[in-house]
Structure 1
Amino acid sequence: MKTLLQVDFPYQGPMGKEMVSQMRALAESINEEPGMVWKIWTQNEQTAEAGGIYLFEDEASARAYLEKHSARLAAWGIGPVNGKLFAVNGPLSTINRAPL
């Protein structure tokens, strides 16, 4: 069953175009993660937070990625990382045009 991973963490920047410039290689590498279908990058300058919403093929892939990404962020001095996993209800999501 497809699994949605929601991640957020405190983040001072960069945001916007500067974030794109600095994080392009990371974004490209995420495409190679086992089971990853897509990611939506999130940012909020007002609350100094960033993160993402990911769709994985299965829970095991999502959990493995959350562990890897949390360790990477910790190495960069970023934390705490909030991660939540959700099973995707495909039939209802399809009614609402979810890109599954």
Structure 2
Amino acid sequence: MATIFKVSYTYTADPAEWAKAYTEERARSFLDVPGLVWKLWLDEPEQRQSGGLFLFATRADAEAYAASPRGQKAKSNPALSDVRMEIFDVRDEMSRITHGPIPPAVAPINGAA
């Protein structure tokens, strides 16, 4: 079953400076995350909040990422506060009916099963 990993946090940096960290190289670095189908990057500069929604092929993939050093990085970053991490199962069929970006066969972007 497809699974969402959601992370959100508040940052202390100036929003314009914060935005400079969002590079193509940074995005591409997620292409090798095991089981990742897609990632949405979230930002609310007026509130200095940011985060991401990650769709994983399986709950095990999402849990492995959440427990990994990369998944835990936000919790140890002193420039961040109010860090929240959550894992949700996706109701695939209901999401497809409402045009959720759930492919018919959920497959990781790196081609690994």
TM over 0.5: yes
Q: Could you tell me how far 1:95 is from its partner in structure 2?
A: 0.4
Count of paired positions: 99
Aligned-pair Cα RMSD in Å:
2.2
Alignment of 1:1-100 (within 5 A): 1-13=1-13, 15=15, 19=19, 21-24=20-23, 25-67=25-67, 68-77=69-78, 78-100=80-102
Partner Cα distance (2:82, 2:26) in 1: 20
The answer for unaligned runs of 5 or more in structure 1 is none
Partner Cα distance (1:50, 1:18) in 2: 10
What secondary structure does 1:83 align onto? strand
Partner Cα distance (2:62, 2:14) in 1: 26
Query: Residue 27 and residue 17 in structure 1: after superposition, are their counterparts in 2 closer, same or farther (change >3 A)?
Result: farther
Q: Could you tell me how far 1:44 is from its partner in structure 2?
A: 1.0
Partner Cα distance (1:10, 1:16) in 2: 15
Partner Cα distance (2:18, 2:74) in 1: 18
The answer for unaligned runs of 5 or more in structure 2 is 103-113
Q: Percent identity?
A: 26
What secondary structure does 1:23 align onto? coil
